[in-house]
Amino acid sequence: MNLPTLRRVRRLAAPTLIGALALTACGSSDDEQVDSDPVSTTIPGAAGDTCLEGAADCDDTAAPADGGDPDAVDEGEFIREAEGLLGVAESELPDDVRVARRGDESFALTEDYVIGRITVELDDTDGSGYRVVTATVELTEGPQTFELTPG
């Protein structure tokens, strides 16, 4: 298609497309169902509810029930979880745990730092399958690694 023909096609197609979009946006069919549920302005997640950008009726700055720092993290819980993974079989690992090494095979990991994330290394120490031998948890003061002690 040559350039003048392409320009003519664009010039003719643009108003048609704009008209179709306007009708779609403003359509008022009697068969149209209206959702009476209010639209949520928050995104649920591990860090609690977070307001969508530009939401006027959302407040994600509420203080915790105990009156403490809303940004405080219970690192003790993360530490207990990491220690609890020591000796756990590979098949029993939660989906959110990263595997850095499995035997002689090392895996590429992202370099971002996420408070509470746990990364493990697996070895088959007794022939019963791969188990967690080290667990590293990312904490505010830096990562902390726990090792399985033989015995």
Q: Which domains does the chain have, with CATH numbers?
A: 75-147 (3.30.10)
Q: Cα–Cα distance between 36 and 97 in angstroms, integer?
A: 40
Q: Nearest-CA neighbor of 27 among 16, 37, 19?
A: 19
3-class DSSP assignment, residue 77: helix
E strand spans, the chain: 42-43, 50-51, 98-102, 105-106, 118-123, 131-137, 144-147
Instruction: Over range 62-83, report the average pLDDT.
Output: 75
Query: Given pLDDT bands bounded at 50, 70 and 90, which one contains residue 116?
Result: very high
Q: Cα–Cα distance between 129 and 147 in angstroms, integer?
A: 18
Mention every residue, 6+ apart, whose C-beta is less than 8 A from residue 16: none
pTM: 0.54
Q: Cα–Cα distance between 77 and 90 in angstroms, integer?
A: 21
Q: Cα–Cα distance between 75 and 80 in angstroms, integer?
A: 9
Task: Name the least confident of 29-38, 60-69, 142-151.
Answer: 29-38
